[in-house]
């Protein structure tokens, strides 16, 4: 459709706006807005009719968005691993937890060898062990018969990142300053200490008694003298 000759600038604008209002593009936009308006009305009606179901869907959607926003990245795992290694270095070798130290040492060895891999799955993240470094160019890397199977992947997962935390590393570092091997020779009932044991009345009395002087009976004094005389002869 050609424009009539001799039209001014104002007349051309009016003609163009009229075409936009009555053309195919204008009809498409009107139908699209009408469809969106009808969809919004249906959603509003369903929310009024079933508020519990709508609340459940909204909660699931908000939880999914929150998980995706708080999914930890590869740099956060690197930072958490270095912090855990530094925490263990500040502890005496006699008080370090063997479980914590073994797990962190394994992760550090894999990190130095370039065998740690990171994978983001939108809602959570995974750190797993790879058989070789990225720069390795060996026959085992290219041979499809020597590559690990997908069934072996769960055993290669080292940590799971969810809601801003690496949970396996966090769990392994719990009580990292307690060496369980120090208490393996104690009786079974003395190997574990609960909150009530630490704050009991009997424990408070024992704590106060350790500052009292030791008083020996006459029998104990004679026994000590005999033991000292036996050591002299």
**pLDDT for 55:** 72
C-alpha neighbours within 13 Å on the C-beta side of residue 166: 26
pLDDT tens string 176-191: 888 888 777 777 776 7
Neighbour-count burial for 6-28, b at 16+ CB within 10 Å, e otherwise: eeeeeeeeeeeeeeeeeeeeeee
Report the pLDDT averaged over residues 121-150. 83
How far, in Å, CA of 30 to CA of 35, rounded? 9
Is pLDDT above 70 for 25? no
DSSP label at residue 160: E
Tokens of 85: 């290694």
**pLDDT for 23:** 62
Greater pLDDT, 123 or 41 = 123
Greater pLDDT, 180 or 192 = 180
Greater pLDDT, 145 or 1 = 145
Name residues whose C-beta falls within 8 Å of residue 177's C-beta, 6 or more positions apart in sequence: 91, 95, 96, 97
How far, in Å, CA of 13 to CA of 22, rounded? 14
Query: What are residue 129's phi and psi, to 5 degrees?
Result: -95, 130
Name residues whose C-beta falls within 8 Å of residue 175's C-beta, 6 or more positions apart in sequence: 97, 100
Tokens of 108: 């550090």
Cβ–Cβ contacts within 10 Å for residue 114, how many? Answer: 13
pLDDT tens string 35-86: 777 777 776 777 677 777 767 777 777 777 877 888 888 899 999 999 999 9
DSSP label at residue 134: T
Q: For residues 44 and 98, is the Cβ–Cβ distance under 8 A?
A: no
pLDDT band at 20 (very low <50, low <70, confident <90, very high): low
């Amino acid at each position: 459709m050609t424009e009539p000759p001799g039209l001014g600038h104002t007349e051309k604008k009016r003609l163009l706006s009229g075409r936009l209002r009555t053309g195919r593009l204008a009809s498409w936009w009107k139908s699209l807005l009408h469809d969106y308006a009808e969809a919004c009305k249906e959603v509003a009606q369903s929310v009024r009719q079933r508020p519990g179901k709508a609340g459940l869907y909204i909660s699931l959607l908000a939880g999914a968005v929150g998980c995706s926003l708080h999914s930890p990245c590869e740099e956060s795992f690197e930072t958490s691993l270095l912090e855990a290694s530094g925490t263990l270095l500040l502890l005496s070798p006699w008080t370090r937890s063997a479980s914590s130290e073994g797990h962190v040492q394994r992760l550090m060895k894999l990190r130095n060898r370039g065998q740690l891999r990171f994978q983001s799955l939108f809602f959570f993240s995974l750190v797993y062990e790879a058989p070789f470094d990225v720069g390795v160019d060996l026959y085992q890397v290219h041979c499809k018969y020597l590559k690990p199977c997908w069934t072996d992947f769960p055993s290669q997962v080292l940590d799971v990142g969810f809601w801003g935390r690496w949970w396996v590393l966090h769990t392994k570092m719990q009580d990292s300053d307690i060496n369980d091997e120090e208490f393996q020779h104690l009786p079974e009932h003395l190997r574990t200490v609960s909150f009530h044991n630490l704050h009991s009345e009997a424990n408070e009395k024992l704590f106060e008694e350790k500052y009292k002087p030791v008083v020996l009976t006459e029998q104990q004094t004679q026994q000590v003298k005999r033991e000292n005389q036996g050591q002299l002869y």
